[in-house]
């Protein structure tokens, strides 16, 4: 698995404290991100749906009714 390198900036005091207690900042950041996403998953999905709907409206997409019925049927099969 490729692990991109990201920089986390901390005030000196927090950096000193994290080093003194031996915190694994990489693991801590990963867990914090996972926890945040788990807590905000619904909000994130709703925001993405709103953005997609807004883009579709801006493009004036007019889906044929037959296509929509087919897609709805496929979604129910999953």
Contact 44, 37 (CB under 8 A): yes
Q: Is residue 43 part of a domain?
A: yes
Q: Is residue 65 part of a domain?
A: yes
Number of domains in the chain: 1
Contact 42, 21 (CB under 8 A): no
**Residue range 4-63, pLDDT digits in tens:** 788 889 999 999 999 999 999 999 999 998 998 888 787 878 888 888 888 888 888 677
Q: Is residue 1 part of a domain?
A: no
- For the CA atoms of 46, 51, 52, 54, what is the dihedral angle to 10 degrees? 120
pLDDT for the residue 70: 87
Q: Is residue 34 part of a domain?
A: yes
Q: Is residue 55 part of a domain?
A: yes
Domain holding 59, by residue range, is: 12-77
Contact 28, 6 (CB under 8 A): no
pTM: 0.48
Q: Is residue 16 part of a domain?
A: yes
Q: Is residue 71 part of a domain?
A: yes
Q: Is residue 56 part of a domain?
A: yes
């Amino acid at each position: 698995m490729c692990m991109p390198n990201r920089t986390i900036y901390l005030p000196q005091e927090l950096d000193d404290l994290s080093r003194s207690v031996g915190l694994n900042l990489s693991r801590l950041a990963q867990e914090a991100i996972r926890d945040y996403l788990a807590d905000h998953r619904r909000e994130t999905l709703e925001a993405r749906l709103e953005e997609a709907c807004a883009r579709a409206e801006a493009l004036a997409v007019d889906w044929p009714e037959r296509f929509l019925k087919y897609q709805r049927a496929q979604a129910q099969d999953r």
